Amino acid sequence: MEPARPVVPDQFQHAAEVILWAQKHRYEMHWLNTAGFAKRQRELGDRFIVRPVLKRPGKRSGMTSVGLVSPEIWKAEWEAKALRRAALAAERMERWKQKEARLLKEARLRKRRK
């Protein structure tokens, strides 16, 4: 049986609390006003969990937000991209072999000229 999904708090008291919680439960996190936050919010819609984060006293603004992506979502994305990563690795290896063959051929030609 799969373990129960942790309940995401309604708000966090400070950034350190968010970071510790996200690490403990393996959630991906994105801060408000970052490109990652906007992209994930656009891509995931309702599955992107946005929570307020209170800032420490003495800071200019009183609150910010963090977006959280559950481990099930980012793991599924990682697995979906596995074939593409493997294909890119194979292409890189082929280019490397071609370059190595070209360098060996050039070295042999230089050796003959001497």
| pLDDT at res. 84 | 87
Is the pLDDT at 2 greater than 60, yes or no?
Answer: no
pLDDT tens digits, 63-75: 889 999 998 888 8
Domain ranges for the chain, please list them.
Answer: 7-71, 81-114
Query: Which pLDDT does position 57 carry in this prediction?
Result: 63
Q: Average pLDDT of 34-56?
A: 91
With CA atoms as reference, report the closest residue to 67 among 45, 86, 85.
Answer: 45
At 54, list the tokens. 């209170």
pTM of the model: 0.65
- 77-91 pLDDT, tens digit per residue, is 888 888 888 999 999
Q: What is the pLDDT of residue 43?
A: 92
67-106 burial, b at 16+ Cβ within 10 Å, e below that, comes to bbbbeebeeeeeeeeeeeeeeeeeeeeeeeeeeeeeeeee
In degrees and rounded to multiples of 5, residue 56 shows phi and psi of: -65, 150
First to last CA, the chain: 72
Return mean pLDDT, the chain: 88
